[in-house]
Structures are given as C-alpha cells and as structure tokens.
Structure 1
Amino acid sequence: MKTIKRSNFPEDFTWGVANSSYQTEGAYNSYGKGPSIWDTFTNRKVFKKGNGNIATDFYHNYKEDIKSAKALHLNAFRFSISWSRIFPDGEGRINREGVTFYHEVIQCCLEHKLDPWITLYHWDLPQKLEDQGGWTNRNIIDWFSSYVDFCTKEFKQVKYWMVLNEPMSFIGLGYFMGIHAPGKKGLKNFLPAAHHATLCQAEGGRIIRKNLPKAIIGTTYSCSYVTPKNRQILNVRAAKRIDSLLNRFFIEPALGLGYPYKAIPGLKRIEKYFMAGDENKMIFNFDFIGVQYYFRVVAEHRIFPLILHAGEIPASKRNVKTNNMGMEVFPKGLYKMLKQFNTYKDVHSIYITESGICLDDEIIHGKIKDKERIKYIKNTLKVTQKALGKGINIKGYFNWTLVDNFEWAEGFSPRFGLIHNDHNTQKRTFKKSAYWLQEYLKR
C-alpha cells in the first residue's frame, strides 16, 4: 500500500497528540500540589538525568500548547491528571487550585474544538501513598477508587477516559526492575503491585461507567512485537513467554481470561494476593483499548530470570536501525500488534493512543529538520491503513508527543516531540514533521 491519503481514513477518525502530567506540567511543588513518587525519585542525588520540576512548564504554557495542537488540525488532546495535584496526600484533602487548573485545560481544549482525553493514572503516584506501600498495598484499590470517583464527578464534561497508562511499564519498571519510580525490585513487589493494578483498571472502569454512563472508556497497554532469535524450539517458547508477559498479562484478566498461566506457570504465585471474588473483579467491558507500540523484541531462551527463562537480545547487538534510546525502529510491528489485539472477541475498538520516535533533531539556520520522524509517521500510518483494510476497528491515532518533554529515567535527551523545546528557555519551535502533519491533516 503506497498512498496514505487522509481521505483513506474514516471521516470520524480521531487524530490527536498524547502528553502526561509529570513529563510536561512542572510546578512540582507549587499551587498546592503534593509530591509524587517521580518528584522523589528524580530529585535524589544519585539520579543524574534531571527532573520534571519544570519539565515543559505546561502548567503555565498550556494555552500555547493547546493552540499549537489545533494549528496542526488535530481533533483530540490527550493529557493525564496528576493525582497529587488533586489530592496532595493521595486521599482526603482536596487541592482546589489543582482542580481549577484541569478545568481550565479542559475548557481550553473545548474552545479550540479539541476533544479532551483524560488519562487518570500516568505513573505519578502520590508519595504519601507510596509511603504506605503504594501499588503493593491492597488499600490502593480504595485510594484509587476515591480519586477516580472525584475526577469523574468533577470533570463530567469530558467524554473520553482512560484508566491506566501502560500498567506493565509502571509496574515492571518501577516495582520489579527498579529503574523507574519508586525504584522497587523483585517478585515480592511485582506480583502484588501487578494484581492490584489489574483490579484498579477494572474498578476504575466501573466507577467511570457509574458516574458517566455516556462516557467512552478505555485503558492503554504498552506492547512489543516479539519474535524468536531463530526457530529453535527453546527460543520459540521463550518468545511466547515474553509475549505473554508484555502483551497479554494485563489485558486478558480484564477480558475474563485470567492471567496467562499456561504460558508462564510460575505466575500462579500471584494468587497469593487474591481475595474472594477477585476473578470477577478483574473484569471490565472496556469500550476500547489503547495500543502503544514503539519497538520490536527479539527473544532467546535463558536460565535467568527464573519463571520467565527468557531474555531480550538488545538491538545494539542485532545491527538494526534504532532510535536514540537504543530501541529498534520497526513500524511493521504495529500491524502485528493490532492484529493480535483484534483477535480478542471482547475488544470492541482500538485506538493507537501512543506512537512516536525519539531522534536527535537536525537544526539548520533555526529550522528543525527531522525527516526520519516524518518517515516513521508515514510508515506508521501505512500499517494503520493496512489494518483498517483488514477490517480491524481502529478509531484513532495519537502521536507521542506534542512537545519534547522529560522522558522519565532517560531525562531530556530523547526528543519525541513534533515541536522542539529549548529546555532552558521553554521556547517552542515547530519541526518539519509538525508542518508535514499539519499539511496532511489539512481539509
């Protein structure tokens, strides 16, 4: 399929950009906001990649950024709510300044005829709750429920809601590998945190449905197209186990299929954290799922880690094209993942809620040229169009991200934005990719 004309996409297709609170807002200890786990994690002396204390200063620049999104002819603006900006202590006391800020962001979106899409949890747990165990403490179901209940009653003019952003990322990286906030490691943290996140994604959906019966409700999953190193049976099985962990672990319980024990029998240890009725409490009938794809994983059999007995062969050892975070650039993998998620009979529709590439931009005479990003977007749209042609119900595409931001443990170096940000001055400059997308979406 060679052409990617805008007219080849459905008339009601959603075109948007995705952002998150910690990566953009700044104002980390101002206007009544309480500390989050990422505030704590990045302000340690041992963390050398900077922090989101200012980030892109979206708190003060939201009008400019939303206006820029509209200038690109988008029709949706995805952002997340900072839990500790609403509840500085995680529960109880409400920070009205924070509530007012999100009302203003929502209103600005609506004034520019951009549908506001809210992600309720994008990794910045209030530190006061982490002090009590965070996601490893089953009480988080109650804490999260109260937070969701408040937000959906308060911001009831919003139609599109996402419960969690990439649970495997924030649980796996934050509660198993320890390279993301809050920096915990091991199965003793991963298993309870994962189960509680599974319960929260369903309970969050139920609360939104109760408070906003007409809302469109989803949740988002990170995914990677997993292939074996070769066709040797041990490597093929290793790839299936990694696929089960990365791509099936959180969606299948929501669909009533339970955790993928058959592929990874050792995961049955998670049942230690079950309580009566949890099998049903994990289930929720989402209106859509959000697919978030960035790279391919090539797997091989290994003795460690135990339970998984599989590992990833780094892209640096495979002589493949990578982004500047060392991840393989493989847009075709998105098509494979769209097909895979479409096989579930209870997945009603799919949005590509994140898609992007980080590159070192080329600045020439004040103009920012990023032809590789344009190429990536084109290839991504090609495979999306191909999936639509195969009958997969894809209803939208969100580019990650609008403005270069703070990229978690990688700091400010990775630049995913359509708009360049001078992190010293907060000056925004449209990249060539932004102008390309603007022209592409022009009606």
Structure 2
Amino acid sequence: MLRLLVLLTNLAVLVLSADKFSRDDFPPDFVFGASTSAYQIEGAANQDGRTPSIWDTFAQAGNMHGATGDTACDGYHKYKEDVQLMRDTGLEAYRFSISWSRLLPNGRGTINPKGLQYYNNLINELISHGIQPHVTLHHSDLPQTLEDEYGGWISRKSVKDFEAYADVCFRKFGDRVPYWTTFNEANVFVMGGYDAGNLPPQRCSSPSPYGLNCSRGNSSIEPYLAAHHILLAHASAARLYKNKYQDRQHGFIGINVLAYWFVPLTNSSDDQIAAQRANDFFFGWILDPLVFGEYPDAMKKNVGSRMPIFTTAESNWIKGSFDFLGVNHYSTSYAKDNPSSLKIKKRDFFADMAVEFSTWGLQELLKYIKRVYGNPPVYIHENGERMIRNLTLEDWPRVEYLHAYIGSLLDALRNGSNTKGYFIWSLLDLFELLDGFESGYGLYFVDLDDPDLKRQPKLSAHWYSHFLKRSKGMRLHGLTELGMNLSALSRSHFFQ
C-alpha cells in the first residue's frame, strides 16, 4: 500500500508539472523519435548471409555477461510489429543502424540480396506509417573480416572500404532516407575499443589500467590513430554524398558523438581548466577537426608526437564535412585537475586528459555548441535512463528523467539552440553494449522468457505517447486521462 501511495503521489506531481509544456511548444519541423542499433535489436546474426562483426566476436568471447546478440529482440523478423509500436506510440522518427556485414558480408564487393531486402522492407514500412527514417552507418560493428585482414580502424585502408560501403547505402536507400549519420559515438567507440578494451574490438595495452587483459593493442597510440581514420572516413563519405547524391536525394549527413558535460568540481582555476580540457578531449577531439580543421590545442600539447597530424588538404577536406551533429547525452560530470597522471611514462587516452571525474546538463552543452562551434543543427540521438532489466514496468525514474530532459531541451531552444530533433534511447529493452541483458533503457519491455519475445509498454511509453499526441488545447484533458490510466495500472498491479 505504501509503495502505491508513493507512486500515485509521484504521478500527481508529474501530471501537474507536465502541464508546463507540450509537443506544440516545439517547432513543427522538430522531430521526436526513439533509437536502436542493428546488433542490439535485429538478432538473426547467422541468418540470410550475414557474417560476424567485431561486436559478435566481442560478445561471443564472454565479455557481455555471457550474453550475445545472436537473437537480441529478433527485430529482423518482428520489424513490422515494432514499426506498429512506433506508430501507436506516436513516434515521428526512428533512428536505426545498418549492419555492414549483413549488407556486405565480405566487407566490400558483392551485396547480400537478403540484407538489401530487409533494409528496404524496414524503410518502406516506416514510411508507410509516416515515420521518418534516420540511418546510422557504423554502430560499433565493423565487419570482422576487415578487422582480421588489416586491423580495422587502425589501418588507413578502412577509409576506402567505409566510403564504398556508404556508397552502396546511399545508392540503394538514399531515395527514402533523409538523414544519414556516419558513425555513432565516434569518440567513445575508440576510447573503449582501443584504450580501455571494454568495447569491441577490445584492443588495449595489456594489462590495461582498467584490469582488462587484451590480446593485442597499444592504448598509447591506437585510440588516436583509429579516431583519425574514422574522421577521414566520415569526411570521405560526406564528400561522396554531397558530390554525388545530395542534389537529387535532398538529404543530410552528419556524425555522432557521446557528450558528457564537464563542469569544474571547484571554483579553482586548475579545475576550470581541467573541465575545459575534459570537454576538449571528449568532444573537441571529434568536433574541432569538423569545424576548425584541427585537433584541440590541449590534446596536441598533452599527447605530443603520438597525435596524428592532418595534412593541409585533409584539414580542408574534413572542415565543414557535416550538415548536422548527432549528440548522445546521458549525464553531466564534474572535473577535477589531476596533473599527476601526466607523470605516467606510458600514458593512455585518459591519463593524457589529466582529469578526475565525479558524476552530475543538456542545456549547458547545447549552449556550448552554440557558442564555440557556430550553432550547427543538432539532433539528440540518444538520451535515456538505465534501469535494471525486469525490475518493473512502472519505470518512474525514467519518466521523471525524460520529463526533465525534454523540458531542459525546450529551454535551450528558447535560448537560441539549433537543435532539430530528440530521440529516446531506446525503443525496446535491447542487448546493451556494456552489460548485455542486465539492464534496459527501453520504452517497451521485451520478455526474454517468452518464445515470441513479447513487447510490453512501460509507464514511460505511455508518458511519451501522451506527450507526443497531446496538443496545447488538449493538455488538461489529456493529463487527467493519463493520470487516471496510470493510476489504474498501478492499482491493478498491486491489488491483483
């Protein structure tokens, strides 16, 4: 009974506070959606010609609590059902990724007809339901065959192969896909995959400072090398799109980064400088070359000769090679100066940064992008709240989190931010990158014990749906109805 009373009290507070804004407060061309990625939702890992990616290899080595994405949410077979869920929820857009090794099993060359058919079917299904497709080309899943052949992103050969893969996607799907993102979390992918070793392809100096034993890698050099090639690959694909496809397909191309927002732990000048350095290392590492043509000065100073250098031609080639910036944002962090890490002889990326963190604003991040990088169009590609999987369908922390962040986003827009869209991570409880099936970010719960992997809406799905479908004139009625519906759900749960 006490828990029910707490839930209903929270409901009353949320219903009253939600009346402060509605979907209509956002511009008509602003889009709201949800996100997933191929390996995390599709399953069918060994079906219809798909070959392994580096993520398959990483998971099958037991790195994700013994779980793999071989089945995941079976989105490969259940895409029509999932698109119907999107329609029922009121989503205006859906961000998903293409599995490179499903479309091109050898990493290059012959197109897999079954993979081509699947993505055509998914895109057509979205459009038929009035949902705008936003496509990511690389979401931590480079084909394993390219990793085996030349080391993947640590080799310059990856740039040419990525451009060829992107060309296939633009040619086959670009007549219906208006938004392309080349890389998801380009910064975190290389931090985890080539420094810490806790993400695919699990390359790091061994033993790493994080207690991981990698069979190959060099944490002092490879993160910077991989990021350098990813930036060149992005610029190559973007130039191809702009020169060959954009005029007739009328789409847009960008890149995605994960952005914490770092603030000083104290008011000391050292911590203020440390917070700026942390933002340079995490965010400026990718965005500075795209806007200014060079890496941040703080990185060049601390990394020294290990930092790759752009030629003048490359700098001009990369600069301005994006129509929008995709941002994944989950939390804000405090930064404390840690100069002692620079005394380490064989330093990695995090030691080079020389910062200590403790966790804590989307609004300040968007203000920073506006001030420093010229206010480019921004899409919030991922924003969500992690919860233990199977804990409850009454995900109040997630509802409160989403309400707070969407409100903060509206404040940023009113202050001149050029943000164009917001996507919740994630549509379903997916196979998560860091812990497999131990946690869930989804609006919908996926029952792994059900042979049909039944999807069930959480309170967050009801809340988001109400927000998306509610107009200003209907706010009071809609909120009252939402309160009644969620109260009924709570009562049925506790008194059944």
| TM-score > 0.5, shorter chain as reference | yes
Contact 1:239 1:310 in 2 (8 A): no
Say if 1:49 and 1:412, in contact at 8 Å, map to a contact too: no
**More deviation, 232-241/183-192:** 232-241
Aligned to 2:69, which of 21, 28, 52? 52
2:355 matched to which residue of 1? 311
Flag structure 2 segments of 5+ consecutive residues without an equivalent. Answer: 1-16, 205-218, 471-496
2:152 to 134, 142, 153: 134
Alignment of 1:142-157 (within 5 A): 142-156=160-174, 157=176
Name the residue aligned to 1:428. Answer: 455
Equivalent residue, structure 2, for 1:236: 272
CA contact (8 A) 2:389 2:439 kept: no
Unpaired segments ≥5 residues, structure 1: 316-329
Measure the CA separation in 2 of the matches of 1:54 and 1:223: 30
1:59-74 equivalent positions in 2, closer than 5 A:
59-74=76-91
How many angstroms does 1:55 deviate by? 0.9
CA contact under 8 A between 1:149 and 1:211: conserved in structure 2?
no
- Of 419-428 and 75-84, more deviation after overlay is shown by 419-428
How far apart in 1 are the matches of 2:261 and 2:62? 36
C-alpha distance in 1, partners of 2:22/2:411? 12
Output one character per residue of 1:143-173: Cα deviation in whole Å (capped at 9) or x when no partner.
Answer: 0000001110011221111111110011111
Residue 252 (structure 2) pairs with residue 212 (structure 1): no
In structure 1, the partner of 2:484 is: none
1:151/1:313 CA distance change after superposition, 3 Å = same
1:290 and 2:315 equivalent? no
The one-letter code matched in structure 2 to 1:135 is W
> What does residue range 286-365 of structure 1 map to in structure 2 within 5 Å?
286-302=322-338, 303-304=340-341, 306=347, 308-315=352-359, 330=360, 333-360=361-388
TM-fit CA distance, 1:34: 1.0
Give me the whole-angstrom Cα distance separating, in 1, the residues matched to 2:224 and 2:136. Answer: 24
Name which of 179, 201, 226 aligns with 2:234. Answer: 201
Task: Kindly indicate whether residue 196 of structure 2 is the aligned counterpart of residue 169 of structure 1.
Answer: no
Moved more, 222-231 or 125-134: 222-231
Greater shift, 184-193 or 144-153, is seen at: 184-193
Q: Distance in 2 between matches of 1:277 and 1:339?
A: 31
Are positions 1:372 and 2:397 aligned together? yes
- Aligned-partner Cα distance in 2 for 1:151–1:42: 26
Q: SS at 1:125's partner residue?
A: coil
Q: Choose which of 92, 95, 99 in structure 2 pairs with 1:78.
A: 95
Q: Which letter does structure 1 place at the counterpart of 2:189?
A: F
User: Which stretch shifts more, 152-161 or 235-244?
Assistant: 235-244
Structure 1 residue 125 corresponds to structure 2 residue 159? no
Listed one character per residue, the Cα deviations across residues 220-276 of structure 1 (whole Å, up to 9, x for unaligned) are 111001122222333332222211111211011011241002465133435546456
TM-superposed CA distance for 1:423, in Å, is 2.1
The AA in structure 2 aligned to 1:114 is I
> CA 1:363–1:408 in structure 2 vs 1: closer, same or farther (change >3 Å)?
closer
Q: Bigger CA drift: 271-280 or 236-245? A: 271-280
In structure 2, the residue matched to 1:327 is: none
Q: Answer whether contact 1:242 1:308 (CA < 8 A) is retained.
A: no
1:408 alignment partner, SS class: coil
The match for 1:323 is none
| Contact 1:120–1:162 (Cα < 8 Å) also in 2 | yes
Alignment of 1:258-297 (within 5 A): 258-262=294-298, 265-272=301-308, 274=310, 277-297=313-333
Matched residue, 2:466? 439
Q: Is the 8 A contact 2:107 2:146 kept in 1?
A: yes
Residues 1:192 and 2:219 aligned together: no
After alignment, is 395-404 or 294-303 more displaced?
A: 294-303
Contact 1:288–1:347, Cα closer than 8 Å, also in 2 = no
1:346/1:298 CA distance change after superposition, 3 Å: closer
Calculate the aligned-residue CA RMSD, in Å.
2.0
SS at match of 2:352: coil
- Change in 2 beyond 3 A, CA 1:89/1:234: same
CA distance in structure 2 between the aligned counterparts of 1:109 and 1:184, rounded to whole angstroms = 37
Between stretches 15-24 and 352-361, larger displacement belongs to 352-361
Deviation at 1:175, TM superposition (A): 1.0
Q: Does 1:224 align with 2:257?
A: no
Cα separation, 2, equivalents of 1:272 and 1:339: 29
- The amino acid of 2:191's aligned partner reads G
Verify the 8 A CA contact 1:297 1:312 in the aligned structure 2.
Answer: no
- Deviation readout 1:343-376 (Å, 9 max, x if unpaired): 2454431111111111136767xxx211111111
| Residues 345 and 274 of structure 1, relative CA distance in 2, 3 Å threshold | closer
Give the structure 1 partner of residue 202 of structure 2.
Answer: 183
Structure with more of its chain in helix, by fraction: 2
SS where residue 106 of structure 2 aligns? coil
Q: Is the 8 A contact 2:60 2:66 kept in 1?
A: no
Deviates more, 1:129-138 or 1:264-273: 264-273
Matching residue of 2:488: none
Aligned to 1:396, what secondary structure does the other structure show? strand
Q: Which residue of 1 aligns with 2:10?
A: none
| Shift in alpha-carbon separation, 1:264–1:26, aligned structure 2, 3 A | same
Distance change (3 Å), C-alpha of 1:300 and 1:346: closer
Q: CA deviation at 1:300?
A: 2.0
